[in-house]
A and B are shown apart, each in its own frame.
Chain A
């Protein structure tokens, strides 16, 4: 049986409506907290394992506070982690040092092994922070946060329209592929390549046509250059204090890592 399109608008943020200390905070605070954790983790000097452990604990605490099941976090991490693992593996062979193991003409050095482990650790902690953000924040909330953080309106509007069109376009491209398959129109690699080029060009043309139609409809409803949004969640004292504490904690960990290494 033909698989139907399974992309939906809300497949990423199932925990955005679950009441928790994280979802109670304004989305801007959530974005700032995630950015602080990701930057703080990524900025740790090589070899600062204890400091990395502290930041990993902070991220785990946030995931627990957001009531995210471990299985969901692990499942969400799996895809990007495979990519990060593949990218880090190169470090085993490319970083010079005392050779530990030889695999054919390549040697794994001690420095390479340490760097591989630490880079993978830093990446995993930062990835988990991003997973907490995306699981607890809906896309409209994310856009609202980016607007409050003074990202140019043209970019946030393009993001909003792009996200709205994306799922329609993916469905349309899947329909075109299904139609081609049903006509048995993809024999060898060459005809498959031609077919994909045709589908991509059709997708491009349809995306622009749909964009123009959507824009005309928006103008008819009084669009003045910025997408309207629901009233943003207000900043409350608890959010401000929590965010300040988090920023200070991450800064203290990062600074102490540089001092102690």
Chain B
């Protein structure tokens, strides 16, 4: 449910998200004009048409599922984040006005989620990963695939929080249902983003915004952010271990705690481990998740370049 329909959000949330979106778009208009100059109109028009057309193509992902491109990170890597925000806003606007995909009242929230947070958050992640990995062709494809995944998860989290703030659904089940759904969609988004970017970089590299190899300072900052994320994960591990998580809380509310069955023994059940308890478990968790995402992205990068 990347596009929230009318009727799901409260008046306060609609007004608040509309104000934040309007302010962010004003900045995006100013910054994109400086970057694209007189190329602005044709480039943004072409990108808007492309995102629309690409969203009509369903990619088979296996097991009877398919996904279509959201496009925030892909357009961001080509036009830069500010212009990509405007493109995604144009897409969200037309989807709401012409195709009733997302509400008119919730336009502010959908713009904030998809165009501002989705593109902005995804591109921050992309730049952070490029600073960590470097600017080689495969590395950029890998970074874009991971950023595409992260961007979609971010959109899902924002939707869940807005639904909870509106009093439509409690936060815990919203995070599980909407956030979890977007995490699955994110895998498709990451794979498609990486694969298309790989092909464009090979066939028309001049279309993609050039990136300089990160300086020593930039790389140091990227490592510092990674370290900070690990510390944050450790702190979150302590908090999480003392409170029921979103899934447990949702299960409790739905009254299905008694049917809970462990089919597979978790290595660090309830965030405890023989080597340092919650902190160690959280750090290992972050490293493992990062490693899995990295492996998927790397596979996409290799396949994307071979096709």
Contacts and interface: CB of A to CB of B under 8 A. Distances in A.
Interface of A: 12, 34-35, 38-39, 41-43, 46, 76-77, 79-80, 83-84, 87, 90-91, 93-96, 99, 105-107, 115, 118-124, 126-127, 129-131, 133-134, 139, 142, 146, 152, 154-155, 157-166, 168-170, 173, 189, 192-194, 196-201, 203-205, 207-208, 210-212, 214-215, 218, 223, 225, 254
A127 B100 contact: yes
> Do most interface residues of chain A lie in helix, strand or loop, or is the interface mixed?
helix
Contacts, number: 248
Contacts of B41: 154, 157-158, 161, 215, 218, 223, 225
A39 B40 CA distance: 32
B9 A94 contact: no
Contacts of B255: 99, 107
Contacts of B204: 205
B101 A194 contact: no
Interface stretch (B144-152, B195-203, B274-282, B286-294): B195-203
Contacts of A118: 7
Contacts of A131: 100
A186 to B, nearest CB: 10
Contacts of B94: 159, 162-163
Given A41-B105, A90-B169, A215-B41, A127 B6 contact: yes
A16 B1 CA distance: 31
Contacts of A119: 7-8, 168
B107 to A, nearest CB: 9
Contact of A205 (B1, B57, B99, B200): B200
A197 B199 contact: yes
Given A91-B169, A199-B57, 18 more contacts: A41-B105, A83-B101, A123-B6, A123-B8, A134-B98, A152-B26, A152-B29, A154-B41, A154-B86, A157-B44, A158-B86, A162-B47, A164-B49, A166-B48, A203-B54, A214-B45, A215-B41, A215-B42
Given A35-B104, A142-B97, A155-B29, A162 B49 contact: yes
Contacts of A142: 97-98
Nearest first, the 9 closest Cβ-Cβ pairs linking A and B are: A161-B45, A211-B46, A162-B48, A122-B7, A215-B42, A126-B6, A123-B7, A158-B44, A43-B11
B50 A155 contact: no
A144 to B, nearest CB: 13
Contacts of A107: 254-255
Interface of B: 1, 5-11, 14, 25-26, 29, 32-33, 39-50, 52-54, 56-57, 59-60, 62, 69, 78, 86-87, 89-90, 93-94, 96-101, 103-106, 167-170, 173-174, 177, 192, 195-196, 199-200, 203-204, 207, 250, 253-256, 259, 304, 307
A41 B6 contact: yes
A205 B60 contact: no
Contacts of A84: 5, 7
A213 B101 CA distance: 31
Nearest to B78: A204
Contacts of B103: 38, 42, 123, 126-127, 130
B90 A159 contact: yes
A12 B95 CA distance: 13
Given A43-B105, A123-B5, A205-B204, A198 B199 contact: yes
Given A43-B11, A157-B41, A201 B203 contact: yes
A130 B32 CA distance: 30
Contacts of A90: 169, 177
Contacts of B39: 215
Contacts of A38: 6, 103-105
A106 B256 contact: yes
Nearest to B103: A126
B104 A126 contact: yes
A39 B100 contact: no
20 contacts: A39-B105, A41-B105, A42-B6, A43-B11, A80-B101, A95-B169, A115-B168, A130-B104, A133-B97, A142-B97, A158-B40, A158-B44, A161-B41, A161-B45, A170-B53, A194-B307, A197-B195, A201-B203, A207-B53, A212-B42
B69 A198 contact: no
Nearest to B50: A207
A12 B9 CA distance: 27
